[in-house]
Structure 1
Amino acid sequence: MRPQKVLDKDIVANLVDVFRSKGYDGASLSDLAEKTGLKKASLYHRFPDGKQGMAVAVMNHLGERAEEKVFSALRDESVSAVQRLANGLDNIRSIYTGGKDACILRAFSLGSGLELFGEQIESGMKEWVKAFKSLGLAFGLSDTLAQQYAIQTLLEIQGSLVVTKGLNDLSIFEQTLKDIELRYLNK
């Protein structure tokens, strides 16, 4: 068997770029093939379920990355709540490239993407809330308040990514992360 010229991780990273910028419905097989450097037949060979299979691979990849970078940092009981917050926010900055990258959950929640991936989107958002709730509890918030902080934080992160893109102003995302930090520190 010949070795693959393009590694799966590189393919998925390129698929992420297309889906983030065009959404599920807007991403054509031509776009996906061009960005990955593969022919359509090669993409179908790697993803027998076609574009939907590619989207699932992207969501799985980004879900694993969020778990590894953000959620685990927010739940890391070996460090203080303050350090957990700092680590989590730094990793959020990193995975969204300082606000340059849109959230894939937003990209897939438009058009037929929500119909196809609604359960995964809901599950992903619940993981964000669960991780931030864990952080709130570490800061000594009540269960109810920790849940409220977590949902507010998710709203602010997602909203700031949209507004940052719309106004082409990365400072909006950065200010949002600072505001989140202050809310937890000044609880």
Structure 2
Amino acid sequence: MARLVRERSDIIPILGEVFRAHGYEGASLQVIGAATGLGRGSLYNFFPGGKEEMAAAVLADIDRWFRDEIFRPLEVAAASAAPYLVRTAIHEMAAAAAGYFQGGRRICLVGAFALDGVRDRFAAAVAGYFRAWIEALGAALVTFGLSPTVARARAVAAVADIQGALVLARALDDPGVFDMRLKAVVTALTAGWNGVG
């Protein structure tokens, strides 16, 4: 069944799933056309820069979602200087990540691009995604009384653990691994909070 595509924004989620399934190199215009129901001319009408512009648009859409659903709530909680709000934001971060990554069944496309041969082509977007997550989480953890250095180290460990859990869940075909590690991340991040504040 052909999908109804009326504007560029309709195509971006479809493109994201094509890149997840086939990688950047494997996502030929033929594969993209079959998934979107659009011919080359229509694809180039929406994305004059071709596949590279398509991938950049997908990465920008992922970045927007993570900024709205994960990074900004952590930043707001950090700005409040209220540890209980940060604790809540960390739990919400985990819930949002679990939903986005479909409980470990959906790969992180940004992470996949970081490991792929196209990493240099999208280096700014890839690094920006991970830096923003680490910075937002690190700033939130300072609210627990951690030094910025320790808070950043814990944020790096948490993001690395989440990304590693996605890879391991896929490799073992066991989404429970992702759920288990995500819970462990939340516990590790919130364990030092004494409930005051």
Which TM-score bucket, shorter chain as reference? over 0.9
Distance 1:107 1:21 in 2: 11
Q: Which runs of 5+ in 2 are unaligned?
A: 193-197
Q: How far 1:156 moved relative to its partner?
A: 0.5
Q: How far 1:5 moved relative to its partner?
A: 4.3
Residues 84 and 110 (structure 1), Cα distance of their counterparts in 2 relative to 1, 3 Å cut: closer
**Which residue in the other structure is 1:59 paired with?**
59
**Amino acid across the alignment from 2:38:** L
**Which residue in the other structure is 2:40 paired with?**
40
Structure 2 residue matching 1:48: 3-state secondary structure? coil
**Which residue in the other structure is 2:15 paired with?**
15
Contact between 2:165 and 2:178, CA under 8 Å: does it hold in 1? yes
TM-score relative to the length of structure 2: 0.88
Structure 1 residue matching 2:120: 3-state secondary structure? helix
**Amino acid across the alignment from 2:132:** E
Matches within 5 A, 1:140-159: 140-159=145-164
Structure 1 residue matching 2:152: 3-state secondary structure? helix
Q: Which runs of 5+ in 1 are unaligned?
A: none
Q: How far 1:107 moved relative to its partner?
A: 2.1
**Which residue in the other structure is 1:30 paired with?**
30
Contact between 1:139 and 1:184, CA under 8 Å: does it hold in 2? no
Number of residue pairs the alignment of both structures matches: 184
**Which residue in the other structure is 2:117 paired with?**
112
Q: Which consecutive segments of 4 or more residues in structure 1 shift more than 2 A?
A: 4-10, 76-79, 109-112
1:91 paired residue among 93, 96, 106: 96
What percentage of residue pairs aligned between the two structures are identical? 30
Q: What's the Cα RMSD here? A: 1.5
